[in-house]
Structure 1
Amino acid sequence: MNSAPGRPKLNSHPLGGQRPAQRWSVGATLPRDTRDTLFLLAVIAWVVAMQIGHIPWWCTALTAGVLAWRTVLALKGLPLPGWAWRMGLLALTLGATWATHQTLLGRDAGVTLIVVLLALKTLELRARRDAFVVFFLAFFTLLTHFFYSQSLLTAAGILIALLGLLTALVNAHMPVGRPPLAQAARIAGGMALLGAPIMLVLFMLFPRMSPLWGIPNDGMTGRSGLSGQMRVGQIAELVLDDSIALRVRFDGEPPPQRDLYFRGPVLTDFDGVEWRPLRSGFPAHMELQANLQVSGEPVRYEVTMEPHQRPWLFLLEAAARAPQLLNTQAFMTPELQWLTRRPMNELVRYRAESHPVFRHGPLTTAVALQDQIELPAGYNPRTLMLAQQLRREVGAGPAFSEALVNAALQRLRTGGYTYTLEPGVYGQHTADEFWFDKREGFCEHIASSFVILMRALDIPARIVTGYQGGELNAVDGFWTVRQRDAHAWTEVWLQGQGWVRVDPTSAVAPGRTGSLERLRAPEGALAGAIRTLNPDLSAQLRAVWDAVNNRWNQWVLNYTQGKQLDLLKNLGFKSPSWTDLAYVLMAVVVLVSLAGAAWTLWERQQHDPWLRLLQRARQRLHKLGLNNAHNLPPRTLAAQAQQRFGDTPFSHSVTQWLLKLENQRYSRESPVSLATLQREYKQLAWPKEGNQ
C-alpha cells in the first residue's frame, strides 16, 4: 500500500483518494480530507483516553505521540511515513508489551496491543479500505472498555465515542462535495435511534449464559478494601477508597449505624507479621462449630454487592439462614462467614435476614479453642509483660476474662491512643509499638494489638474483617457502604457466653463506628470547591449521582438470567426455560422481519410521490403518441409535447404543468405544492388516445 518509487509525495485521505502535498496556513479553510482526518483522530483520541487507567504509561505516551504526529501530517499536507517506521513502532510495541505483561495474550496485554495498533493504523490511511479498518478497529476497542468497568460513566463515554465513530463512518459514505459534519452527525444519531429498539429486544431476550461482559480477571486483585489476610504495620499511610462496595435497602426501620457490621473473613492464625484464616490441625469432629443461636425479630434487607473477585457475601451479623441468591448456593463457615462456590465477578443482588441479638460458638471450654490463643514465639515481649501486669491487677482465670477485656478497653480510652490514617511503618513488634510507643494507628493496628493482648491473657480471641457503617441516601432510600467503610474488629470468647464482639477501635475513636466523624476519602478539586461554596448542594449532587448509579446497577447490570425468566412468567409462561426464551426471541425476530417486509412494500408504494406523478404523466403522453424515454426530465417532455401537439390549448396547459412540476422539484422557492400539481394533473383536458 506504499506509493511507488519516483512518484510525487502524496498526502493520504481516509475517505479514499490521494492529493498532492499542500501546506495550509493558520486560519485558512481546511480541505475536506484534512477536516475529516482530524475529526477521526479526535474520536480515536477520545476512545484511547478512556483506557488510560488500564494501559501502561508507555502505551499512553506512544499512542498520544502517534496521534499527534498524524495530526501534524494532516495539517501540513506531508506524506505518511514509510513501512520501516511502522514496522519499527510495531516491534517496539510488541517488545514493550512483553516486558510489561510477560505475554502477548490475555486481557491486559491484548488491550494494550489493540490500543497501539489502532493508533498505528492511522499512519497508513491511504485508501477508503484503510479508513474502514480504522473504524471497525475503533469499534472493537470500544468493547474492551467493558472488560474493566460497566459503570454508568463508562457507558456514557462509550455512547459519545459510538456516535462520533458513526458520524465518521457516515461521512465516509458521502464522498461528493463537502457535506457538513453536522449533517453526518444527524444521520448517525438517527441510525442510533433506529437501532435502539433492536438493542433493547436483544438485551431483554438474548440468553445470558454468563455475566454481562463477564471475563475473568488476570489475577485475584479485586476492588474490595478487604483481603484474605492482614499484614500489620506495613502500610505507612492508608488512602481511603470512596468507591461503593454495597448498597443495602432495609424492609423496615434499619438498625442504628453503630450496629451495622457486615461480616467478612475471620482471621485467626498469626505468624508475628500476618493474620490469616484458621488452618486448624484438629480432626473435623473436634473443630469449633458455629452453634449460632438467634433471638428476637430479624432485620430483613436486600444487598446489591459490587464485584470483588472473591467468593464472599457480606451480611449483617448474624444471619442464620442462607441469603436468597440466584444461580448459586451460599454456605456458612463455622466462623459465621457466608461464602459461595465461585468468585463474585459480577454485580450481584441478594435478600437476607439477620438477627442483631445472637450468640455463637461453644459455651464451655473446648480443645479447639487452643487455636485462638496461640502466639508466635519471640514477638511483642512488652505486651506479654503488660498481660502479666493486668493479671496481677485484675485477676487470672476464666472468671476474670470479662474484667480483663474491660481493663484493656479502659486502657485504650484513657491511655492517649489515637486513630489515624498515617501511623507510619511499624517494626517487628507491632503490638509493643502500639501499646507503648506510637499509641496510634487505624483499625488493623488496634484490632491486632488487642487480640495479641487478649491471647497473652489466655483469652481466646480473633480478628473479624468486613464493613462497618454506611450512609443513607435520602434520594432513593438505600444505605451506601463504601470501600472506606472497610473495618476490622475482634471477637473474644467468654465462658458461658461464647464469642462476643468487641470493637477496640470504638474505644479509641467512637466516631469511627457512630454517625459522627465518619472517615471520608479526599475529594477532587471540583468536588472540594462545591463543598466549600455550598455543602448542601454538594451532598445533594452526590446523593443524586449515587441514586442514578444505583438504578443503572439494578436495572441494567443486574439484569440476570433469573430476571429474563421472570419476564417470561409475566408473559404467561408457567415454568419458563431457556427453550421458551429462544422461542420468544425467534417469534420477535419473525414479527420484526414481517413488519420490515410490510414497511418495505408500503414504502415502495409511497416512494417519492413526485417521481410517481412524473411517471404517470410520462405514461399518459406515451399513449398519446409521444415517444419519450424513461430518463427524460419534465422540461424535455414539455418541449416534445409542444412539438407534438402544436399550438393547442392542451399543448399550452400540459407544457406549463410540466414546467411547474420541474420547478417544484428543483427550485427552493416554488410557489406550487405537490398536492396542487396532483389536482391540476387530474384537471388537464387530456385528449382521447384516438383523437390527438
Structure 2
Amino acid sequence: MLTRLLNHLRHLPRDSRDTLFLLLVIAWVVLPQVAHLPLWCSLLAAGVLLWRGGLAVTLRPLPSRWWLLALLGLTVAATLFTHKTLLGRDAGVTLIVVLLALKTLELRAKRDAFVVFFLSFFTMLTNFFFSQSLLTAAAMLVALLGLLTALVNAHMPVGKPPLAQAAKTAGGMALLGAPIMVVLFLLFPRLAPLWGIPNDAMSGRSGLSATMQVGNIARLALDDSIAMRIRFEGATPLQSELYFRGPVLSTFDGREWRPLRSGFPARMQPPANLQVLGAPFSYQVTLEPNNRPWLLLLDATPARPVLSGFDASMTSELQWLTDRPISDLLRYTAQSYPDFRHGPLRPMAGLQDYVDLPAGYNPRTLQLAAELRRDPRYASADKAQLVAAVLERLRSGGYTYTLDPGVFGRDSADEFWFDRKEGFCEHIASSFVILMRALDVPARVVTGYQGGERNAVDGFWIVRQSDAHAWTEVWLANRGWVRVDPTSAVAPGRIGALQRLQAPRGAIANALLGNISADFALNLRAVWDAVNNSWNQRVLNYTQGKQLNLLKNLGFESPRWEDLIYLLIGLVVLASLVGAVWTQWERSRQDPWLRLLALAAIRLQKAGVKLAANSPPRRMAEQLVQQFGPDNPQALTLRDWLLRLEAQRYAPPGAQRTRLVTLERELKQLVWPT
C-alpha cells in the first residue's frame, strides 16, 4: 500500500508535487500555534490543508469561490465570537492562520502562490508573539528554510527540478543573508516589545498565582519549566535560606486567600519597619515572563533592584512590585539580607486584619484552639510558645506531604488537622494560619519560591515552577513578623536538602526514559538549561544598554541610539561600495562571455558530460545531445541556450543578439539533465 502511494506521488504533475511540499511547510509553520489558537481554528486549518492535499493528489478541481466566501464568513464570525473582537494579538493570529489556510484553496496561479508565501512568512513571525525560546527559534529557522525552498522552486522553469536543488539555493541565500542578520541584530535600535504573553492558567499546576484556593485541586502536577535563573556574586546562601518572596495573602473568605483587602486604610496597615543585619548577598536574576507585576527577590531586599524599563516599589509586606506586568524576559540585580526584622514591635490596630476569620468555617479547628487555650501547659503561654506547640503537633501527629491529597471540602483546615492529615504546602500553610488566628496570633500566608538547584555547567542557580512554595509569617511582640515554614515540620527534606516530590511518569515518558539513568538525565537537563540560559542572556536579553556598551567599546564616548542608526547606515554604504568595487574588479579581470562559458562547462561536467579543454559552445551542445539523446527536453533546452551564447559572441553585425545579462540569468534557472 505504501509503495503504491509513493509511486503515485512520484508520478504526480509538477504543480501537485509543489503544492504538497508547500502544504507541509505551512503545517510546520502553524503547528507551534496550536497551543494558542482556539480549538475550532486548529481543526479548521488541519481540515483545509488535508482537503487541499487530497485535491492535489487526486487531481480534482479546486472548490468554487462561493465555498471560500462561506467559509471566510463563518470563520470571521467564529473569531469575533471567541475573542469578542477582530483586533489585538490573539484575534489577529487566529485570522491570519484562517486566511493562510483558506488561501491554499485558491492556488491556481503563481500569483496566488506568492500571496501564500508571504502570508506564511508573516504567520511564521507571529510564533514569536507567544514564545521567543530557543526551540521556537530553531523551529522557525526550519520553517524559513522550507519557505525559501518553496519560493525558489516556484521560480524554476518547467519540468520537475529536484527539491534538493531548490533547498541548496535556499540554504545559500540564508547563509549570504546571515551576516546582514547579525549586523541588524547588533546595531538596529532596540524598541519596547510590541506584544506580551498570554494569560497563564496555573490551576492544577505548580507555580505562583495572585490568589490561593485551598482544597479544589485533587492532584498537583509538577511543572518543571524554569521560573528564573540566579547568578550570585561572591557568597551563596544556603538552600534553606533561598526564599524568593511573592504575593502575601492576608484575607481569607473560607475558601480563598487573597492579598490584603482593597480599600483598607493605609494608616491602619502595619508599617514595614524593615531592619537588616549582617552582610548582604549580591545576585542577578533573569526572570522568565509571567504576565505579573512581581519582582521575585530573596527575603529581604531593602534597596530598589537595578533594572531598566520599569518602576519598582516595595509594599509594607516586603513584596516588590513593578508598574506593569512583566511580559518579556527581565534581568535585574539586587542585594538581599537573610538576617532581617520587619513589622511593628508593639500591638497595633492594623494587626487585627491578620487575626480575622470568616464565620461558620472550620469549627473543629476553632475547637482545637480553644482546647489548647484550656490546656494547663499553654494557659499562660505567649504567642511564640503557641507557635512551637502547633509545629510540634505537625511533627508528631502523623501528617504527611503529598501531591495527591484529593479534593477538600468546605472546611479545609478541619479536614487537614483531623481527617486526611496530608496535603501539599498550600494546605499545610493555610491550615496553620487558620489555627494561629484562632489562637489570636496574627498570621498570614506568603507565597513565592523556595530552593533551587545549581547548574554545574554554567554556574547559574535555576528556580523552577515546581519550586513554588507557600509558607507563613506570624507576628510576635518585640520581634515583628517572623517566618514560620510549617511544611518543614511535616517534610524537613522539602526545604534544606532539596528533596522534591516527583510526579510519576506517564507511559510515553517511561517508554522513552525508562532505560536512562537518573544521573545521565540530570546531566542532559543541565546542559540543555545552560544552552537555554546562553540564549536568554546573549540573544533575548540583548538590550539597548548592551548596544550602547558595544558602541563604547568601539570608541564612542557618549553613545546614543542615534549613533546606532549612523553606524548602521555607514556599514550599509561601506558594504555596497565594497560589493560594487569587487564586481567591477571581477568583471575587469575576465571576459564576461568567457566566464559565462566556463560556468556552463563546469555545470556540464558535473552532469556527466565529458568535455575537451577549451570546447566552444557548439561542440558542447553536440556532446550534450549525444550523451542524453535528442528526445531529452532538458538537454534540448540547454543546447538552445549554448547556441544562443555562441550567437551572442559571433553573430554578424546587425543580427539580433540575446543580451549577456539575460543569458546569465537563464543559466541560473536551467534544469540540468540527469
- TM-score, normalised by the number of residues in structure 2: 0.85
1:246/1:481 contact within 8 Å kept: yes
Q: What is the letter of the counterpart of residue 526 of structure 2?
A: A
Return the offset for 1:531. 5.2
Work out the CA distance in 2 between the residues paired with 1:357 and 1:493: 17
Partner of residue 501, structure 1: 483
User: Among 559, 566, 571, which residue is 1:576 paired with?
Assistant: 559
Work out the CA distance in 1 between the residues paired with 2:87 and 2:36: 16
Q: What is the letter of the counterpart of residue 340 of structure 1?
A: T
Question: Which deviations, in whole Å up to 9, do the C-alpha atoms of 1:186-212 show, x marking residues without a partner?
Answer: 11001111111111111111111203x
Return the offset for 1:298. 1.4
Partner of residue 560, structure 1: 543
Question: Which deviations, in whole Å up to 9, do the C-alpha atoms of 1:528-565 show, x marking residues without a partner?
Answer: 43354322221111111111111111111111121112
Residue 240 of structure 1 aligns to a residue whose secondary structure is coil
User: Among 56, 75, 83, which residue is 2:38 paired with?
Assistant: 56
User: Among 305, 327, 341, which residue is 2:323 paired with?
Assistant: 341
Residue 533 of structure 1 aligns to a residue whose secondary structure is coil
Residue 597 of structure 1 pairs with residue 580 of structure 2: yes
Partner of residue 195, structure 2: 215
Partner of residue 650, structure 2: none
Residue 78 of structure 1 pairs with residue 53 of structure 2: no
Residue 204 of structure 1 pairs with residue 186 of structure 2: yes
Residue 596 of structure 1 aligns to a residue whose secondary structure is helix
Partner of residue 402, structure 1: 384
User: Among 411, 417, 422, which residue is 1:429 paired with?
Assistant: 411
Runs (5+) with no aligned partner, structure 2: 599-611, 626-674
Partner of residue 657, structure 2: none
1:463/1:488 contact within 8 Å kept: yes
Residue 382 of structure 2 aligns to a residue whose secondary structure is helix
Residue 51 of structure 1 aligns to a residue whose secondary structure is helix
2:448/2:470 contact within 8 Å kept: yes
Work out the CA distance in 2 between the residues paired with 1:449 and 1:224: 19
User: Among 367, 374, 396, which residue is 2:349 paired with?
Assistant: 367
Partner of residue 518, structure 2: 535
Return the offset for 1:605. 3.1
Following TM superposition, the consecutive aligned residue runs of length 4 or more in structure 1 with deviations greater than 6 angstroms are 612-615
Task: State which drifts further: 368-377 or 588-597.
Answer: 588-597
Task: State which drifts further: 536-545 or 591-600.
Answer: 591-600
Q: Give RMSD over aligned pairs.
A: 2.7
Aligned length: 605
Change (3 A) 1:659 1:366: closer
Partner of residue 71, structure 2: 89
Question: Which deviations, in whole Å up to 9, do the C-alpha atoms of 1:85-128 show, x marking residues without a partner?
Answer: 22222223223323322333222222122112211111111111
Change (3 A) 1:448 1:605: same
Partner of residue 172, structure 1: 154
Residue 482 of structure 2 aligns to a residue whose secondary structure is strand
Work out the CA distance in 1 between the residues paired with 2:560 and 2:219: 52
Return the offset for 1:84. 2.1
Work out the CA distance in 2 between the residues paired with 1:130 and 1:267: 57
Change (3 A) 1:93 1:385: same
Partner of residue 300, structure 2: 318
Task: State which drifts further: 98-107 or 336-345.
Answer: 98-107
Runs (5+) with no aligned partner, structure 1: 1-22, 616-655, 670-692
Residue 235 of structure 1 aligns to a residue whose secondary structure is coil
Return the offset for 1:515. 2.5
- TM-score, normalised by the number of residues in structure 1: 0.82
Task: State which drifts further: 479-488 or 249-258.
Answer: 249-258
Work out the CA distance in 2 between the residues paired with 1:224 and 1:109: 29
Partner of residue 618, structure 1: none
Q: What is the letter of the counterpart of residue 567 of structure 1?
A: L
Residue 63 of structure 1 aligns to a residue whose secondary structure is helix
Work out the CA distance in 2 between the residues paired with 1:90 and 1:593: 45
Q: What is the letter of the counterpart of residue 578 of structure 1?
A: W
1:450/1:504 contact within 8 Å kept: yes
Residue 208 of structure 1 aligns to a residue whose secondary structure is coil
Residue 132 of structure 1 aligns to a residue whose secondary structure is helix
1:330/1:341 contact within 8 Å kept: yes
1:204/1:564 contact within 8 Å kept: yes
Residue 340 of structure 2 aligns to a residue whose secondary structure is strand
Change (3 A) 1:76 1:414: same
Identity of aligned residues (%): 67
Return the offset for 1:424. 2.1
Work out the CA distance in 2 between the residues paired with 1:148 and 1:246: 18
Q: What is the letter of the counterpart of residue 308 of structure 1?
A: N
Q: What is the letter of the counterpart of residue 479 of structure 1?
A: W
2:196/2:328 contact within 8 Å kept: no
Residue 417 of structure 1 pairs with residue 382 of structure 2: no
Question: Which deviations, in whole Å up to 9, do the C-alpha atoms of 1:382-429 show, x marking residues without a partner?
Answer: 1111111112224356x6111110110111111121212222222222
Partner of residue 115, structure 1: 97
2:442/2:474 contact within 8 Å kept: yes
Change (3 A) 1:72 1:657: closer
Change (3 A) 1:663 1:109: same
Return the offset for 1:364. 1.8
